[in-house]
A and B are shown apart, each in its own frame.
Chain A
Amino acid sequence: MLDNKSKIFFGIFAFLVMISLVATYYRYVILKDFAVVTDEKAFNESLEEE
């Protein structure tokens, strides 16, 4: 099985991934901090294509 050094390494790695996901969740889902790009002309063309 894993030695102690590896356990610490993977512990830190998993922690970083979790922090990154929580930060992403906080930004997009809680704060809704993202731009929504709209372009009426392009949108209408897109609808026509569909």
Chain B
Amino acid sequence: METSIQTFIDMCQWDTSRFLIFSNNVFGTLIYYSHFLALILALVVGLFVLLKGKNQLVNRLLSLIMFLFSLWVFFDLILWANEKDYFIMFFWSAMLIIEPLIYALCVYFIDVFIEKKDISFKKKIGVFSLLLPIIVLLPTQFSLVDFNLTNCFREPTEGLIATYYVYFVEIIYTVWILIFAIKKYRKSVPSVRRQIILITLGIILFLLSFVSGNIVGSFTENWTLAQVGLFSMPIFVVFLAYMIVKFKTFNIKMLGAQALVFALGFSVLGITFIRNIDNIRAVAIATLLLVVVVGYLLIRGVKKEIEAKENERLLHEKFEELAGRFENVNHILAHDIKNTLGKNRDIFVETLAGTFGEITEQGKSFFKRLNMDTGSLIASVTNILKSGGKIEPNVQPFDLKEAVLGAVVSVKDKADAEKIKIETQIDEKENYMVTADRSLIVPHVLNNLIENAINYNVQNGSVFINLSKKDPNTILLAIKDTGWGMTEEDKKNLFKPGGHGPDSIKKNVHTSGFGLSIAKETIDAHKGKVYGTSEGRNKGSTFFVELPVNFTGTQSAIPGK
């Protein structure tokens, strides 16, 4: 029997391979060309992606896919070159597990890439358990039945696993990817949809590069032509480049230029070793495809960058212009308007105090009103001026209870004019000493919130102020009103600069839209919290302030400042 087999082998005149992959059994240099190009590109890209983000799951998955693909290509080359039946049996088997494993990893990869998070444990089991029959039955006759020496093709006879199950699993994974992508596409916004289309297209093209070799070879019996599948690598490289740009780990133009130079160099070098003119044509067409695709992307990328730089320059000029205008407005607000308003208020106070002589009760009421309105205007101007700079608390211990009661007194006239009742509820036993910047907390938080509770209230309404300890280290201030309330839309922009609701100006003509944003900035600067709730329009609002008792900001050098 042994002699008989050796006779058959001798008749086939197989060449003895060197280093597993070099022999005359490979009947065209095109096969070396297609395999080495794919192998080196996949290794380089895999290594590059791994180095650029080795802690990112998506980078690790992509690198693993690339390394497994390189291994698959290398094993495929061994099958082309090697004449040893036992090596062919082993490497053929190994490819039976590597190929569907790459498909499974592609399912995992696309999910992580689109969802931006790891898949659930159940899904992992679902994806990878499909491979278990292959893993378990790989060393058995269900994978490879025997080595077929009824011809000189150096092929084993495939069993059920190799003939049906592997292809079945690959179809399942491909359909899985497509269904997942379609589902995500439907739920996504237009900008994300484009990404989903490209990533899905790239992965499907990549997976097709595996099966295309088998399909083309099986249908045409032309295994040289079947190498076209591996030349789809340039498309795959484009897909990779796109994905990595999404990771924002490196410049696409740099990769594009490097890939182009590398591929062209490799192509020219390859052509010098190819004798057959048809094969040279095939290599030239593949190279042309690469140059067209990568070259187009490069040119488009450079064009976009030039446009972006031009836009950036224009925006910078615009910004400079606006900054200059803002400076002027700031100057006018600070020195002209605010100072004049301050002087006016002083005159009103002095008039009310009788400095310029006795005035009638009607006159007093008129000047009181003027005094309040001017005070509101000054507060608005102060808020707008404050919104331009960074808040840096200069902290000193002070009694928050006293500050709250002081703020209530300062708005009493205004509340009385609107017939709004202010009720305070403070637990007298508690200590409300805080270490904070009083000069910021009182005007920007207490005054702002209590004045809002009055400004957005109804006539004969009420304001309830409650001061308590949330825990030993946090004081909780709650300011509840019975007024205007907030819609869901109002709540979204509540603490944003200029974020007052569209109707708020009707209720409060002095609103600048900066009050709450500055209140939040002030509380944030003290590592506290401020938030507001409302059950809806005309159902009142409640604002809460949580302030840490011992905030360790910059200590004032001047006590009491």
Residues of A participating in the B interface, judged by any CB pair closer than 8 Å = 1-3, 5-6, 9-10, 13, 16-17, 20-21, 23-29, 32, 34-39, 42-43, 46-47, 50
Q: How far is the CA of A39 from the CA of B5 in the complex (A)?
A: 10
Given contacts A2-B118, A9-B125, A35-B146, contact A47 B152 (CB under 8 A): yes
Contacts of A13 in B (CB 8 A): 128
Instruction: Tell me whether A29 and B147 are in contact (CB under 8 A).
Output: no
Q: Is the CB of A37 within 8 A of B147?
A: yes
**Nearest residue, chain A, Cβ from B11:** A47
- Decide: A34 and B146 in contact? CB cutoff 8 A: yes
Contact with A along B67-104 (1 / 0, CB 8 A): 00000000000000000011101100110010001000
Which of B121, B135, B150 has a CB less than 8 Å from the CB of A43?
A: B150
Determine whether the beta carbon of B144 is less than 8 Å from that of A34. yes
Tell me the smallest distance from the CB of A45 to a CB of chain B, in Å: 9
Chain A interface SS verdict (over half)? helix
Is B138 in contact with A21, judged by CB distance below 8 angstroms?
yes
Chain B positions 43-79 with a Cβ under 8 Å from a chain A Cβ: 55, 57
Top 7 closest pairs, chain A to chain B, by CB:
A46-B151, A35-B146, A42-B150, A28-B89, A23-B139, A24-B139, A28-B90
Q: A20-B135, A24-B93, A36-B5 are in contact. Are A5 and B152 (CB under 8 A)?
A: no
| Total residue contacts A-B, CB cutoff 8 A | 90
A21 CB to closest chain B CB (Å) equals: 6
Of A2, A9, A23, A35, the contact of B138 (CB 8 Å cutoff): A23
The CA of A13 and the CA of B437, in the complex, are separated in Å by: 59
Q: In the complex, which of the residues A10, A36, A39, A47 has the most CB atoms of chain B within 10 Å of its own CB atom?
A: A36
Partner of B101, one of A5, A9, A17: A17
In the bound complex, do residue A34 and residue B87 qualify as a contact, i.e. CB atoms below 8 Å apart? no
B4 at the interface (CB under 8 A from A): yes
In Å, the complex CA distance between A39 and B147 comes to: 12
B57/A21 in contact, CB under 8 A: no
Q: Which residues of B contact A3 (CB under 8 A)?
A: 118, 121
> Which of B4, B135, B144 is A38 in contact with, Cβ under 8 Å?
B4
Contact assessment for B57 and A37 in the assembled complex, using a CB-CB cutoff below 8 Å? no
- Smallest beta-carbon distance B350→chain A, Å: 70
Given known contacts A21-B97, A43-B8, A34 and B89 CB-to-CB distance under 8 angstroms: yes
Q: How far is the CB of A29 from chain B (nearest CB, A)?
A: 5
In the bound complex, do residue A38 and residue B8 qualify as a contact, i.e. CB atoms below 8 Å apart? yes
**Are A37 and B149 in touch, CB under 8 angstroms?**
yes
Query: With A29-B87, A43-B151, A46-B152 given, can you name 5 additional A-B contacts, CB distance below 8 Å?
Result: A10-B124, A35-B145, A36-B5, A36-B149, A46-B151
